Chains A and B, each alone.
Chain A
Amino acid sequence: MDPIIILAAGVGTGTVLLFATLGEIFAERSGVMNLGVEGMMLVGAMSAYSVAVSTGNPWLGALVAMFAAGLLSQVHAYIVITLQADQVVSGLALTFLGSGISLVLGEGLSKAGAISLLPNFSIPLLSQIPLLGPIFFTSQSVMVYIGYIFAPLAWYYINHTRPGMHLRAVGEHPAAADALGINVYLTRYLYVFVGGMLAGLAGATISLAVAPGWFSEMTTSGQGWIAVGLVIFAQWDPFRAVVGSYAFGALRRLILDIQGPAVLFGGPNPFYLNPYWSFFLQMIPYAFTIIVLIIGSREAMRKRLGAPAALGTPYIRGERGL
């Protein structure tokens, strides 16, 4: 129950949510909601682990995971962008498809034995900083450090670059973007692909770094859905996504650690005395997701902020939009 350890581990597990959430932010900013994050993460986790087992190279595993999940995301892209079908149902279908494929192809993978994982290391100098050093820069996975670099880049890209502006235009007002010569369809395909790749990376982060191994659907245990919820809490802003992801990661770790010690806050630990109470602890991340959604939705209503205006609607050229 050392708070430093819980926070450090929270940053580690939170990195999974961070990648998935950022990916979904990219897709939704272009106007495409992809509820298939859970399925894409499972495909990513399975293919990363599978490739790492057969080649011994975890980096290749992570790369293949990104590509495989990106490929899967294009099924959704084709159905909702070209065929203009309902994004909610298609995203659900993608979750089924992704978990089905990963279960079939991942058959027997859980018995693969020890493999080489993505490396953990400390950053010299930075790890010496009091408090922040041990939390953020001491023996974390390389994926965590990639997350530190990637999140601000994503924020800068979306808000301060020309392609980022195009991305936002396509999500807010596709007809106007089209009139400016931006290819709406191509842009949406591209960012759905980016979202898929990041979901795949999130999956690879689980199976090759944070919680190594392949445990069929328990590998992700609903984190893809939590990421979809975090996008709403983050109000489609990468920086808020960072806060939400790490907070959730720390919460998950806290729930595991709170059951250990016999004495808690100077009194007997009820979760130690009654181990079955841990089922109520297991509910907390999911209940917390709902609470976070309530906060996010209320804030959006109050500030009149919210989702990209064209989120969830197909763009049909020549039809009166919005």
Chain B
Amino acid sequence: MTTAPSTSTRKRALRLHIEPRLDEPPRWYPAAVSVGAIVIALVLGGILITFAGGDAVRSYLHIAKASFGSLGVLSDTIVKATPILLTTLACSVAFRMKQWNIGAEGQFIMGAWGASAIVLAPVLPAETSPWIFIPVMILAGMVCGALWGLIPGYLKAKFRVNEIISTLMMNYIAIAWVNFWVFAVWTEGGFQMSPKFPQNAWLPRLLDYSQKIPLFSGLTTHFGLVLGIVAAVIIWFVIYRSRWGYEIRLIGDNPQAAQYAGINITRNTILVMMLSGALAGLGGMSEVTGVIHRLQTTPIAAGYGFTGIIVAWLSKLNPIAAIFVSILFGALLLAGREIQPSGVPKMIQGVILVCLIASDFLLRYRVSITREEA
């Protein structure tokens, strides 16, 4: 029994060092980590696809070609990205204050319902000018979304009801609510859809101008994209350049400090949930008036609210980054429709989110591998 290590077992070994990161990492570093996480996620997703009997490489090539391959499909990608962008903004605002609004889906659906009610109730006659029609529908969509956010926001602020579960339950209630109107009140000939909206209630699309600009023929990109980008810029200013945004960020980072600083957390909880709901509601309005042109449950409740959660996380809650990440996810959703098995896009979204969350570790800790005498 010797206490000193014998020379024969002494060898050079690789050792993993993990220590908390004290300095700010360079600016490019978080982006590089995110990209790395996505690459790893795609590899893991590929393994899972292969395991399920699919062809991973062909699936990915198909996604790339079917979403960016030509001007036409690029336009379709942007159409898919528009609702994602608005739900992403909704999630980003709420998550910035650590309000876990999982209900963007329901708020989106209620926004679509609110906008549809203007046409179908009808609040405005069918021959109304689009200059009046569209602003009123935008307002109705945002108000309905905000109301759907107000309920869980109020319950959270007053009774400390867990907003994750309440917003999620509100999603199911919203679907049943819209189903009732679609089936029972506004049905077209017994089918589970409302009649088509009159053309003055449609958001303008690029193809509407194809007589003046032939390049635009067949492109379905609609005015909702402008709404989304304007909203992103406004939200960026609100979060990073306004007093209210400062309060939101402070509550999110350190609620106790915010409380000591005299910030009204109750009021901000309710307001942020309403703003979040209004943004998601705008998304629902844009989808129903820009793409579907009628109220119908399935294409509206397609999970945009949930994709918004992932995109918000991927864009690090930054509204400007959200524009670009939304387009990538629009591509995934667009191409994913044709991929078999049909659950693949959803699974890849899950794998990406898991890898992203895991990769945050690299932002908080410095990991280095060194050679040393063992």
Contacts and interface: CB of A to CB of B under 8 A. Distances in A.
B233 interface: no
Interface string A80-96: 00011110111011111
Contacts of A280: 176, 180
A101 interface: yes
A308 interface: no
B344 A98 contact: no
B161 A103 contact: no
A276 interface: yes
B179 A98 contact: no
B354 interface: yes
Given A96-B349, A276-B180, A101 B48 contact: yes
A225 interface: yes
Contacts of A79: 354, 357-358
B160 interface: yes
Contacts of B183: 276, 279
A93 B350 contact: yes
Contacts of B159: 294, 297-298, 301
Contact of A104 (B49, B168, B309, B358): B49
Contacts of A97: 347, 350-351, 353-354
Given A88-B164, A101-B347, A283 B357 contact: no
B99 to A, nearest CB: 11
Contacts of A225: 165, 168-169
B306 interface: yes
Interface string B54-82: 00000000000000000000000000000
B342 A107 contact: yes
Looking at chain A's contact residues, the main secondary structure is: helix
A289 interface: yes
B313 A89 contact: yes
A232 B155 CA distance: 15
Looking at chain B's contact residues, the main secondary structure is: helix
A279 B184 CA distance: 10
A286 interface: yes
Contacts of B172: 222, 282-283, 286
B180 A104 contact: no
Given A83-B361, A96-B349, A97-B351, A290 B342 contact: no
A133 interface: no
Interface string A274-290: 10110110110011011
Contacts of B49: 104
A99 B341 contact: no
B358 to A, nearest CB: 5
A51 interface: no
B215 interface: no
Range for the number of chain B residues in contact with chain A: 35 or more
B132 interface: no
Interface in B322-349: 340-344, 346-349
A276 B177 CA distance: 11
A129 interface: no
Q: In the complex, which of the residues A85, A104, A277, A289 has the most CB atoms of chain B within 10 Å of its own CB atom?
A: A104
B357 A89 contact: yes
B128 interface: no
B16 to A, nearest CB: 13
Interface residues of A, number: 51
B100 interface: yes
B208 interface: no
A263 interface: no
Nearest to A105: B52
A298 B155 CA distance: 11
Contacts of B180: 276-277, 279-280
Nearest to B152: A290
B361 A75 contact: no
Contacts of A106: 343
Contact of A92 (B162, B177, B309, B342): B309
B346 A99 contact: yes
Contacts of A301: 159-160
A213 B160 CA distance: 38
A277 B310 CA distance: 35
A92 B347 contact: no
B102 interface: yes
A290 B169 CA distance: 7
A110 to B, nearest CB: 12
A96 B155 CA distance: 26
Interface in B299-331: 306, 309-310, 313
A63 interface: no
A293 interface: yes
A78 B351 CA distance: 14
Contacts of A93: 350, 353-354, 356-357
A251 to B, nearest CB: 14
A118 B85 CA distance: 46
A228 interface: yes
Given A92-B100, A100-B347, 6 more contacts: A39-B350, A85-B358, A279-B179, A280-B180, A293-B166, A294-B161
5 contacts: A93-B350, A104-B347, A105-B52, A293-B166, A300-B160
Cβ-closest 8 pairs across A and B: A103-B343, A100-B347, A97-B350, A96-B350, A276-B184, A107-B341, A279-B180, A93-B353
